[in-house]
Structure 1
Amino acid sequence: MSGDLPENAAEPQVDSVSNAFPLLSYIFQSDDGEGLEDLKEQVDNLALDVTQMEGVSDVTVKGYDDRTVNIDLDRESLEENQITPDEIIQQIDQSFNPVVLGTQTEDTENIRLSFQNMPPVETFENIRVGDDDTPLTDIADIGLTTEEPEDIIAHNGEEGISFTVFLSQGEDVPSTSEDVESVVEQHTDQFDDNISVETISSERENVEEIFNGLYMSLLIALVAVIIGTSLGLSFVGSAVVMVTVILSIFIGLIPVPWMNVDLNQISVIGLIIALGILVDDSIVVNDNIERRLVEGDGKMDAMYNGVKEVAPSVIASTIAIVLAFSPLLLLSGANGEFIRALPSILIMTMLVSTVLAIILVPALRYIIPIRKVPDHAGIFGKTFTKASNLYADKLMPKFLKRPAITFTVVLVIAVLSLGLARFTPFEFFPEADRSEVTVDLLYDNGQTIEETHERANEVIDYLNDTVDNLEGATLFTGSGLPNLFGASLDQSGTHTAQLALYIDKEQMSASEVIDTYEEDLRAEFPEASIFMDTIVQGPPEGVPVTLDVYNEDLGTLEDSMETYRNALEDEGAIVTSNMGQPVDTVNYSIDEAALEEAELSISQVKNELNLLGEGIPVQEIIVEDEQIQSNMKYADEYNLEDIEIIKFSGEQPETFPLDDFVTLEETTEYQTIAHDSGDRQAAMEVYNLEEDAVSDIVSGLSEDVDGGTDTVVGGESTDQTDFFVEIGVLFAVIVVLVYLVIAFEFNSLVLPMIIVFSIFLSVSGGFIGLFVTQTPLSFMGVMGMVSLAGIVVRNAVVLIDFIELRRRSGDIDIKNAIVESGRARLRPIILTTITTIIALLPIALGGDALFEPLAVTIIAGIAFSSLLSLIVTPSLYMIYYKIKYRN
């Protein structure tokens, strides 16, 4: 790659992109306004120690100015001593790099021999150049200078230094954070008394707060499952179910790390959902074993027959569940990464649960002594028995008498329920319950960082006066926040700044602050592009609207982008782009023909121009225990007209004025040229306009831009639409897979349609639950509906499997077979429904805006589907039977 670059181009630098995120961030300040510079060595030592810790990927320190050793060349002295800059660079390299003398062997070990390096400053003082060994200090001024700062940090109005620690991917937040905090405390204890240390961001505190609530919900769910199973199973049966569930979770979690799944919020939610549905297998097997015991089977026969009767349906429904959740592993992008833990945990634990239910449950029931078989097992055993008899003897005959009418009524109710989606609020990902609001400030290019910092402080003063619940603010002028609070700047520089506002969220939430003050802030400071934002739960959100412009010709691309920018801004939009804003630029044009005639190389000209400009980096050295870059350039008093290119040929060197070969042109250019898949691209971000409006404006300008310019309009709306299209396709795949599994189980193409209808009922129930509770339909709500496709089929599968078993035995007529199936299966259906609902209630009532839609959707979907399935499944089977066996 580097060989294809132009001559004199710097070596390419490849940066890896990681998922590291800020773990801790501190602000160091001086109480008396002095001492921060003297603190630099201690901060550097702290950064070095923390960077070397396990679990830490990087440390970022902002607020200190970079220093450089400048070697300012005296042009006249160079000509007088007939020395070229290249000779100086070569001599510096030789002086600083160790000279290897070779190797010698001692005790079969090869040892390299080299000279000891001299101290860097002394090395510069002792460098001699040219045939006459001219001291470098005679032809250049060497001094330590401070560069223009990249960042200016202020916290609550006072200058400070920011220290941010980043976590390595896959590491544990609480334990790593505690280790880092301990090391930081050891170092900061050594700081002078006038230095204050304040933590402005701690992921450990946020994670612990979230997980404490989730772990409590998990514990409540576990207790709820124990209570739920004991309602309708004997003590022995309940104990066996709980042993099976706990083992299923522990064994099922073993392979999860190899599926690239960490313990996070989604993982814990996955465990809570798993608790609710893992009991299904064990309850069905346990209940059938107890039913066989009550009917008079011997112990061994009860175990064998109890498992044999329900094993096919249990296995089939588990395969359906696995196939239902598997497509979620294929969900693309950040949304797929975010949700991957949920299907991973559910799939593994369900597979283990089924194996244990079929093997472990009868084994445990067999070895546990049975003193007496209760006629009505469970705390509410008699109640369940009465309910089963009422359902079988009173209600079911009425459904079966007019099955078509029953099905029609249920269908109408379900279809009408889908219409409630229009009256349900929508929120793709909810706002996180955080106390931070970030503010991006983008000024015109060319503004100094000091001026930007001053203007940003004016914004803070305004906010302090107007925002009632503002408790503090941190200002990062320059490159912006070090990815704190999900905020960073794509195009940063001396003209940009970011604020982190700390608010009292009890008075006004972060989103309310943004809605209340953003427009007023823009009106008060029209010279800046201002964007306020806060953290959302879930993957980072994109910009509202994006406009990607493509053209291979750079000039045409710039013209097209400006045409679109002006038209959008005329409609009140705020537009930024990955190319930034054009800046004043001086272009150097080199006359290569004149160079060839003078027998000079283009590299000589470029070196001279570099020495006139930013200079040439020559060596990294150590000054006061700090690694500093040294830079060689001509002294500031020289310009293009003062420089002559020296050509050493023959006895006397020839000189050529540099301006004979170089022409200057003042223009404006963009600093960044972006590419997308190799194509030149200008990626524009549009605020204050809807996506449809942007599309209309772009379409209306088709005749005003070059015909070779391509555009793509996107944004949050498009991303969400793409997600719903993708999840719709996956949901269709899930339904087809479930249908095929059940078709194979029953060897029928019609019976699976009866069972799949329960999926439709569950989705309708999910919309009812969201509407009644006015819970927003969100990403997690959609995930809940997809999850229902795998959860609710079991009840219908077990019910129909029981009917088919009775029908094939030929002992009773079909109506009695359906009635008896309802009598036998009502108890496990109600038990599994109750345990799932109770397990998810803590999430539904916990107030977590991210997971509440998931819990509400599953609870309502299961309740609605279970209730109506008990009505419609027998009716549909009766219709199916009458049509198939009408002769």
Structure 2
Amino acid sequence: MVSELFTDLATSFAIAVVAILVVCSLGLRPSSAGSVAIAVPVSLSVGSIALPFTGVELSQISLIGFIIVLAILVDDGIVVNENIERKLREGSSPKEAAWTGTREVLVSVITSTVIIVFTFFPILFLPGGAGEFILPLPVVVISTIIASTFVSLLVIPIFRKWKEGRNSVSTERRPAGLIGPLLEKMSNIYSQRLMKGVIKHPFVVGLGGLLLGTAGFALIPWIPLELFPDSDREEVFIEASLEDGTPLEETQAYAQEMADWVSEEPFVQSVTSYTGTNIPELLEAEGSSEESENLANFLIYIDKDEIDARSAMDRWNEELPEAFGELQTYEVSIIESGPPVGAPIAIEIAGESISELMEKSDEAQQILADTEGVENVNDDVGSLVDSYRLEPDRDMMEEHQLDSSEISEALAVLEEGVPVGEFERDGELLDWRMTYQGNPLELLDEVTITGADDEAIALSDIVTVNEEMIQPRIPHMDGERTVMVTAFPGERSEEDIIDDAEDQLMNLEEDGYTPYFAPV
């Protein structure tokens, strides 16, 4: 899976390199084409030095940046090469041709580099997810272009001086390249015929070019607008959760039912379950990094010849809540082109009291659920879960001369067992420990602890068990308690849904509690 993500781009990269070298050989001498061939990998390798210092990793976007910059970084090398070649045709020695040829185009080469750098420079400061997504592109382009400038002004003149110094100097040099004579003939036709007409009628030619270019804007209404088209991929992700506190065994059984249900579709090729954990990030799923025993996540491969990924996603988004009503949350997603995005509709509510926040969250979820076109609504907190709080009896501890660390160790043994050692099985090192079997609360009567008076006391005599309901998580944003309510639309657009529900949602605002639509 991981290698597949880069195979196509790596192939495109190799084709681009070969194409550049072939095209250069058509109009440049072998020595010139060879120097360009040297400039390409050297510029890329030197430019890559900046990547780890800017936090940029090797990804699809950075590889695309390398492919884009291939066609740009050869420009400087070709300009320097051609001017050195011109000096050699004029009869200059290799040393003089390398020196004067490079010096004459120095300002032009540096100026073109500065223009390209400043063109991509503002992209480095794009905010949010879009900026983080596109960051590798300007970093790669800027670093490699700067590197290619140094290579063109330093490495290429040295190479040409060394290469030409081994050959005899001759002013009768045939046109460079495999099709050099043809290109020179076309150049003569252009300069002697076409340019004469252009120079004689500059106003007509300029006005005609302006009108033709402006007329191109008339085609805009017929140009489809799609910033990030769907990826032609076969992966579909289902990321779901049961009620908080659900044991892992129950989650696994429920996940198996879901996997069997998904596998019944004729277009499904395989289903991989991730119970209690998240789908690996390398597979580009959108889930959070939090792990819990109530998570049931799936990676599904479909047959693209029978159905596309988006159609499968829309289908399961509609059918999941009817087929599996016990799901607390669910999300069906695909690998999107472009920057990672969150839920189509997201409302953040910030405040001090978690109980007040939960009331506001419940109201917001109800408003969205009652709005036409909304299929799935949840928040990032979850429902209350049963928990047990153990309080030690201070009088009993003092009577038997026990301290809190001894009680904590006994409770830890009750829950985790006693480590015995480790053993190896099939090359894997496994932890070996002795544990108690049974309900931990009932075992409090059986597990004892010995005090300083050598009297064994049951843990149930030392600690008091209090049952209570707690929030499974309390999310924060910028140091403030913040609950995010998310909603996924069906056939209606998120803009229409927000227009219908916005007034009711904004009415939830009170002193210290402010709901607002989060950027996604």
Normalised by the shorter chain, which TM-score bucket?
0.7 to 0.9
Deviations 1:235-292 (A, max 9, x none): xx43343133222223323434432266655555444434422343344445556667
1:583 equivalenced with 2:385 (yes/no)? yes
Q: Take 1:711 and 1:381, find their aligned partners in 2: how far apart are those partners?
A: 69
Tell whether the 8 Å contact from 1:218 to 1:268 is kept in structure 2 after alignment: no
- What's the offset of the Cα at 1:583? 1.7
1:317 equivalenced with 2:112 (yes/no)? yes
Tell whether the 8 Å contact from 1:438 to 1:501 is kept in structure 2 after alignment: yes
Tell whether the 8 Å contact from 1:222 to 1:275 is kept in structure 2 after alignment: no
Please give the residue correspondences for 1:653-668 in structure 2 after superposition, counting only pairs within 5 Å.
Answer: 664=466, 666=468, 668=469
Q: Take 1:713 and 1:633, find their aligned partners in 2: how far apart are those partners?
A: 49
Tell whether the 8 Å contact from 1:285 to 1:307 is kept in structure 2 after alignment: yes
Please give the residue correspondences for 1:546-695 in structure 2 after superposition, counting only pairs within 5 Å.
Answer: 546-571=346-371, 572-586=374-388, 615=414, 617=416, 619-622=418-421, 625=424, 626-629=430-433, 638=442, 664=466, 666=468, 668-688=469-489, 690=494, 693-694=497-498
Compute the TM-score of the two structures, normalised by the length of structure 2. 0.75
Please give the residue correspondences for 1:492-503 in structure 2 after superposition, counting only pairs within 5 Å.
Answer: 492-503=291-302
**The 10-residue stretch of structure 1 (369-378 or 237-246) with the greater mean CA deviation from structure 2:** 369-378
1:255 equivalenced with 2:57 (yes/no)? no
- What's the offset of the Cα at 1:372? 2.0
Partner of 1:513: helix, strand, or coil? helix
Q: Take 1:303 and 1:606, find their aligned partners in 2: how far apart are those partners?
A: 80
**Pick from 344, 349, 352: which aligns with 1:544?**
344
Q: Take 1:601 and 1:673, find their aligned partners in 2: how far apart are those partners?
A: 38
Tell whether the 8 Å contact from 2:350 to 2:513 is kept in structure 1 after alignment: yes
Tell whether the 8 Å contact from 1:274 to 1:349 is kept in structure 2 after alignment: no
The share of aligned pairs that are identical, in percent, is 23
**Residue matched to 1:3:** none
Q: Take 2:456 and 2:81, find their aligned partners in 1: how far apart are those partners?
A: 102
Partner of 1:379: helix, strand, or coil? helix
Q: Take 1:680 and 1:399, find their aligned partners in 2: how far apart are those partners?
A: 68
- What's the offset of the Cα at 1:601? 12
Tell whether the 8 Å contact from 1:221 to 1:272 is kept in structure 2 after alignment: no
**Residue matched to 1:273:** 68
- What's the offset of the Cα at 1:640? 8.3
**Pick from 532, 549, 556: which aligns with 2:332?**
532
Which amino acid in 1 is paired with 2:32? V
Which amino acid in 1 is paired with 2:43? G
Q: Take 1:458 and 1:424, find their aligned partners in 2: how far apart are those partners?
A: 42
**The 10-residue stretch of structure 1 (496-505 or 681-690) with the greater mean CA deviation from structure 2:** 681-690
**Residue matched to 1:334:** 132
Runs of at least 5 residues in structure 1 that lack an aligned partner in the other structure: 1-201, 231-236, 717-887
Which amino acid in 2 is paired with 1:372? E
Q: Take 1:221 and 1:636, find their aligned partners in 2: how far apart are those partners?
A: 70
Q: Take 1:334 and 1:361, find their aligned partners in 2: how far apart are those partners?
A: 41
Q: Take 2:466 and 2:147, find their aligned partners in 1: how far apart are those partners?
A: 68
Tell whether the 8 Å contact from 2:361 to 2:379 is kept in structure 1 after alignment: no
- What's the offset of the Cα at 1:497? 1.1
**Pick from 29, 32, 36: which aligns with 1:245?**
36
Q: Take 2:213 and 2:281, find their aligned partners in 1: how far apart are those partners?
A: 51
1:700 equivalenced with 2:500 (yes/no)? no
Q: Take 1:497 and 1:413, find their aligned partners in 2: how far apart are those partners?
A: 55
Q: Take 1:440 and 1:504, find their aligned partners in 2: how far apart are those partners?
A: 20
Query: Per the alignment, do residues 411 and 242 of structure 1 end up closer, same or farther by CA in structure 2, a change over 3 Å counting?
Result: same
- What's the offset of the Cα at 1:612? 7.2
Q: Take 1:421 and 1:602, find their aligned partners in 2: how far apart are those partners?
A: 85
Deviations 1:41-84 (A, max 9, x none): xxxxxxxxxxxxxxxxxxxxxxxxxxxxxxxxxxxxxxxxxxxx
Deviations 1:518-571 (A, max 9, x none): 323334334434322233456644333333322222222222222222222222
Partner of 2:419: helix, strand, or coil? strand
Query: Per the alignment, do residues 579 and 374 of structure 1 end up closer, same or farther by CA in structure 2, a change over 3 Å counting?
Result: same
Compute the TM-score of the two structures, normalised by the length of structure 1. 0.47
**Pick from 269, 277, 292: which aligns with 1:471?**
269
- What's the offset of the Cα at 1:686? 2.8
**Residue matched to 1:346:** 145
Partner of 1:684: helix, strand, or coil? strand
Q: Take 1:477 and 1:502, find their aligned partners in 2: how far apart are those partners?
A: 18
- What's the offset of the Cα at 1:386? 0.7
Partner of 1:620: helix, strand, or coil? strand
Query: Per the alignment, do residues 351 and 553 of structure 1 end up closer, same or farther by CA in structure 2, a change over 3 Å counting?
Result: same
Query: Per the alignment, do residues 305 and 499 of structure 1 end up closer, same or farther by CA in structure 2, a change over 3 Å counting?
Result: closer
Runs of at least 5 residues in structure 2 that lack an aligned partner in the other structure: 425-429
Larger radius of gyration: 1
Number of residues paired by the alignment?
A: 494
- What's the offset of the Cα at 1:322? 3.3
Q: Take 2:116 and 2:58, find their aligned partners in 1: how far apart are those partners?
A: 22
Please give the residue correspondences for 1:749-760 in structure 2 after superposition, counting only pairs within 5 Å.
Answer: none
Q: Take 1:655 and 1:491, find their aligned partners in 2: how far apart are those partners?
A: 37
Tell whether the 8 Å contact from 2:39 to 2:148 is kept in structure 1 after alignment: yes
**Residue matched to 1:441:** 240
Q: Take 1:454 and 1:407, find their aligned partners in 2: how far apart are those partners?
A: 70
**Residue matched to 1:299:** 92
1:510 equivalenced with 2:313 (yes/no)? no
Partner of 1:701: helix, strand, or coil? helix
**The 10-residue stretch of structure 1 (606-615 or 688-697) with the greater mean CA deviation from structure 2:** 606-615
Deviations 1:317-366 (A, max 9, x none): 22322343445455565325543334332332233224456665577668
**Residue matched to 1:391:** 194
Q: Take 1:267 and 1:619, find their aligned partners in 2: how far apart are those partners?
A: 50
- What's the offset of the Cα at 1:312? 2.6
- What's the offset of the Cα at 1:479? 2.5
Tell whether the 8 Å contact from 1:252 to 1:348 is kept in structure 2 after alignment: yes
